[in-house]
Amino acid sequence: MAVTIKDVAALAGVSPSTVSRTCKDNPSISKETKEKVRKAMIQLGYEPNFQASNLASQNSKTIGIILPPSARETFENPFFLETIRGISQFCNGRQYISTIVTGQNSEELLGAIRTMVRSGQVDGFIMLYSKEDDAIIEYLNEEGLLYVLIGKAQQFANLTIYIDNDNVLAGKEATDYLYKLGHRKIAYLGSESIKLFSADRKTGYQLSMLQNDLAVNSDYIIEVEGVYLDECEPLQRLLTSEDRPTAIVVSDDILAVSLERVCILCGLSIPEDLSIISFNDSLFARLTHPPLTSIDVNSCQLGIEAASQLINHIENPNLVATKIIVPHSLVERESCRQITE
């Protein structure tokens, strides 16, 4: 089996990114650390990938912002725009350039990232999403490239710098809020569980239901691909059933707006017939009718923290992988109402 950059890092007692920077003779790495890494490389017979080692060789002070692969939805989601605003704000203050990396699918996105790496014009990456078994994460780790993840790390969790909300707690608090308003038939509508933020918010919903002695009904949990409800027969059946929910926790504001359209088709009024609480506190939450009660995840602050951590690790490569939780808050509006049994 070929020796990898992670093998060298383990023998030298440093991070893979430090090995990568040693290969580029980066001046931020001390002479002693370089010697230790080079001895490990010789001992293991490691031959650097010089295409990958061109990364940041010209001190480009450029950060690549990786958007999730999508043909449409990513560019319409205010969460990403607000996060990018936070990244740009911090990068501008530190005189770093930020550039967007996109792709219609994972293969196209990975190809774009490889091209940036070969060009040697980027110091590190910020990923604006997290999902299970991501080929992008695999590539970044295999090549020892520096990156920060916005979201919870599943792969290489102990080695990954990540910025996130406590989405389990947020999901629980959203459900608790509905329970305190008197709701007992509470459903959950979210994106597919491969997206870790939605999986965690669903876990928080389930935790609240159990702690409040409410049954977790599988028919009350609906997960869809993406954030648009062009057609969703399970949801329509649920909303028109005799035992329909009186409230629903929705994993994203855009999905909640789609839900409002389905409610109109089903002859339901919000909040008279159905209370809705969602996440992100985006422009959609404020402009829809009625305005949505929503969990503000502080998207801009997520971006600021991600840029801060990435630049700190670029300039101080021996730092350990940092984990930061950005607090959330509940913004009450008109989409939820008090009910009595």
Q: Does a structural domain hold residue 333?
A: no
Q: What pLDDT score does 19 carry?
A: 80
- pLDDT at residue 99 is higher than 60: yes
Query: Within this chain, do residues 96 and 160 fall inside the same structural domain, yes or no?
Result: yes
User: How far, CA to CA in Å, does 133 sit from each of 72, 130, 224, 322?
Assistant: 22, 9, 19, 21
pLDDT (tens digit per residue) in 282-332: 999 999 989 999 999 999 999 999 999 999 999 887 788 889 999 999 999
Q: Does a structural domain hold residue 335?
A: no
> How much of the chain exceeds pLDDT 70, in percent?
91
Query: Within this chain, do residues 98 and 137 fall inside the same structural domain, yes or no?
Result: yes
Mean pLDDT, residues 113-118:
87
Query: Within this chain, do residues 209 and 311 fall inside the same structural domain, yes or no?
Result: no
Query: Within this chain, do residues 156 and 175 fall inside the same structural domain, yes or no?
Result: no
Q: What pLDDT score does 203 carry?
A: 96
Q: Does a structural domain hold residue 131?
A: yes
For residue 2, what is the domain's CATH number?
1.10.260.40
What 208-216 contacts at long range (C-beta under 8 Å, 24+ apart), as own/partner pairs, is 208/171, 208/172, 208/173, 208/175, 208/176, 208/179, 209/175, 211/172, 212/175, 212/176, 212/179, 214/179, 214/184, 214/186
Question: Where is pLDDT greater, at 6 or 250?
Answer: 250
- pLDDT at residue 50 is higher than 60: no
Hey, what are 97's tokens?
Answer: 């350039």
Q: Does a structural domain hold residue 337?
A: no
Quick check: 17 and 144 in contact, CB under 8 A? yes
Give the pLDDT band (50/70/90) at residue 133.
confident
Query: Within this chain, do residues 161 and 309 fall inside the same structural domain, yes or no?
Result: yes
Q: Does a structural domain hold residue 338?
A: no
Mean pLDDT, residues 126-145:
89
Range of the domain at 7: 1-48
Domain boundary among 10, 30, 48: 48
pLDDT (tens digit per residue) in 29-40: 777 888 888 888
Query: Within this chain, do residues 224 and 290 fall inside the same structural domain, yes or no?
Result: yes
- pLDDT at residue 117 is higher than 50: yes
Query: Within this chain, do residues 157 and 260 fall inside the same structural domain, yes or no?
Result: no
- pLDDT at residue 71 is higher than 80: no
Q: Does a structural domain hold residue 36?
A: yes
- Write down the mean pLDDT value for the chain: 88
Hey, what are 317's tokens?
Answer: 């490569």
Find the range with the poorest average confidence among 19-23, 38-42, 190-194, 281-285.
Answer: 19-23
Query: Within this chain, do residues 161 and 305 fall inside the same structural domain, yes or no?
Result: yes
Q: How many domains does the chain have?
A: 3
Q: Does a structural domain hold residue 339?
A: no
Question: Where is pLDDT greater, at 133 or 308?
Answer: 308
pLDDT (tens digit per residue) in 140-189: 988 888 999 999 888 888 889 999 999 999 999 999 999 999 999 999 99
For residue 128, what is the domain's CATH number?
3.40.50.2300
Query: Within this chain, do residues 151 and 178 fall inside the same structural domain, yes or no?
Result: no
CA-CA distance, 249 to 275, in Å (whole number)?
9
Q: Does a structural domain hold residue 340?
A: no
Find the range with the poorest average confidence among 83-97, 165-179, 191-205.
Answer: 191-205
Of the candidates 63, 130, 60, the one whose C-alpha atom is nearest the C-alpha of residue 90 is: 63
Give the pLDDT band (50/70/90) at residue 56.
very low
Query: Within this chain, do residues 176 and 269 fall inside the same structural domain, yes or no?
Result: yes
Burial of 324 (0-12, 13-18, 19+ CB in 10 A): middle
Query: Within this chain, do residues 322 and 291 fall inside the same structural domain, yes or no?
Result: no
Owner of token pair 């605003």:
85
Q: What pLDDT score does 35 carry?
A: 83
Taking the model in full, what pTM does it have? 0.81
Query: Within this chain, do residues 147 and 4 fall inside the same structural domain, yes or no?
Result: no
pLDDT (tens digit per residue) in 238-296: 999 999 999 999 999 999 998 998 898 889 999 999 999 999 999 999 999 899 999 99
